Amino acid sequence: MLQENKRIKSANYVSNYDAIFACPICQSTMKVLESKSLICSNQHTFDFAKQGYINFTSYPVKTKYGKELFEARRKLITEGSFYKPLSHAIAKIINEHKGKTKETISILDTGCGEGSHLSNICDIVSSDSFKSVVGVGIDISKEGIMVASKSYSNKIWAVADLANTPFKNKQFDVILNILSPSNYAEFNRLLKTEGLVIKIVPQRGYLKELREYVFHKPEKQNYSNAETVERFNENFQFVDSLRLSYTMNLNKSLIQWLVEMTPLTWTATKERAKSFLNKDAAQITVDLEILIGKKTIK
């Protein structure tokens, strides 16, 4: 019964915003019907899952990102406050650029994973600016979206392909792209005329202590995002870029969640990963670049 309530509550919430959707099959308009499905004008139907999310993909997608990884990431973010400075930095950017001019701010997180980044940022933006915030999170991983929809209510969660998102043109004030793949043509399509895209990329010091510990080769220990930054600047009107660097002191539980959450350990030897897991404490560097761009007007 609880799961049925979750499905109905989510459908009722989405019905307030169903005007943003376009069918990923035929691009026609969509409506929530009978508190259980999103249906387009050509009768293509997408049901709400019992956890409250919608799956817009027409085929199962296999990824290495499993439920355990997303649960570990959620704990690291919520209980460990690992990305708290990042959430506040992003919220500040949104409020500086959007807080004074809009009563409602719509935010799309592309590659949202288990939803903690989006939920935290929406909460901070709302509390700092007293604005109504509509948060929408999409990811290709069903496991991530399941965790998101179980954990965070009053958001729109969807399994969707970044190359074919289920939304009409010019629907979002802000697009977030946090440590995940991009589709810049789609971002420009979805942004409102004065919309912002905020992309987070790792800088050379990101998780350097973990990389240096689990990898022997120098090329695996270092990271460059020069090409990523260049591509971003080619696709959007440059607004600003900020460097965010800080260190976190992790206890044994936080170390375990970090190792479980990061793909860095996938290619490391089991011995090196296990050895890092056996530490009682560790200091870890978070080193990120925040890229801010505006929609390209053509």
Report pLDDT digits (tens) over 236-254. 999 999 999 999 999 999 9
Q: What pLDDT is attached to residue 4?
A: 63
Q: What does the block give as tokens for 166? A: 């289920």
Q: What pLDDT is attached to residue 227?
A: 84
Domains in the chain: ranges and CATH: 1-52 (no CATH), 59-294 (3.40.50.150)
The answer to whether 77 touches 117, Cβ cutoff 8 Å, is: yes
Can you tell me which residue has the tokens 């799309």? Answer: 108
Name residue 70's amino acid: F
pLDDT tens digits, one per residue of 163-220: 999 999 999 999 999 999 999 999 999 999 999 999 999 998 999 998 888 776 555 5
**Of the candidates 266, 111, 124, the residue with the CA atom closest to the CA atom of residue 176:** 111
